[in-house]
Chains A and B, each alone.
Chain A
Amino acid sequence: QSVLTQPPSVSGAPGQRVTISCTGSSSNIGAGHDVHWYQQLPGTAPKLLVFGNSNRPSGVPDRFSGSKSGTSASLAITGLQAEDEADYYCQSYDNSLSGWVFGGGTKLTVL
């Protein structure tokens, strides 16, 4: 059971918008720690998608956006494309565990 809770799966048709939630607690996201998001395409290593809650590394399309509020964070993907089909993970730091924590991952299916 992961410290950060994500929905196991989400889906959407090409061109649509989907959001992936990441729910934490007062010892991690709610404590003010940044949330980062990673995209893992099938059979590959994770890739940084959003850092510091809402910042995109160079090369990441602006279709991907992150936000954070209270003890939760969200990743939004607009204009869904077939190539977005992947697993998405959120990550933050937890004071109680004194370590970094990941969400359980969300599988995005493009219908």
Chain B
Amino acid sequence: QLQLQESGPGLVKPSETLSLTCTVSGGSISSSSYYWGWIRQPPGKGLEWIGSIYYSGFTHYSPSLKSRVTISVDTSKNQLSLKLSSVTAADTAVYYCANIVVVVAALDPWGQGTLVTVSS
């Protein structure tokens, strides 16, 4: 059973880079059957897709965040990572990683999420 767990700093200063890791267990991040995605949810608001990555390294980013986002995979550690540069208070959110089955293109399962606050 696939499980995902996000980790990283809960507090980031404005203008700095937010870095998060998602550890995958119960399956291989190198499987050709899966994509992997990052989604965020500002407090009290809705969901926003950040981007996705295939095990080969092919990435697909939200146009609104593309200039600041980098998503990568580390197959040796079965992890994917998210970097978001030049953060502002508007980037304060719960960040989720999720599995995407290629033939379905739906997000399942999701990690539990991690709250990142941008503040000095």
- Report which A residues bind B (CB closer than 8 A): 2, 34, 36, 38, 44-48, 51-52, 57, 89, 91, 93, 97-105
Contacts and interface: CB of A to CB of B under 8 A. Distances in A.
Nearest to B96: A45
A48 B49 contact: no
A46 B47 CA distance: 9
Contacts of B109: 47-48
A74 to B, nearest CB: 17
B47 A105 contact: yes
A91 B60 CA distance: 16
Nearest to B107: A48
A93 B47 CA distance: 14
Interface of B: 37, 46-49, 52, 60-63, 96, 104-113
Given A34-B106, A48-B108, A99-B61, 6 more contacts: A38-B47, A46-B96, A47-B109, A52-B104, A97-B62, A97-B63
Contacts, number: 59
Dominant secondary structure at the A interface? strand
A86 to B, nearest CB: 13
Contacts of B112: 44-45
B106 A91 contact: yes
A28 to B, nearest CB: 12
B46 A89 contact: yes
Contacts of A47: 108-110
Contacts of B46: 2, 89, 102-105
B105 A34 contact: yes
Closest 10 CB pairs of A and B: A48-B108, A51-B106, A36-B106, A45-B110, A100-B49, A102-B47, A105-B46, A104-B46, A45-B113, A99-B62
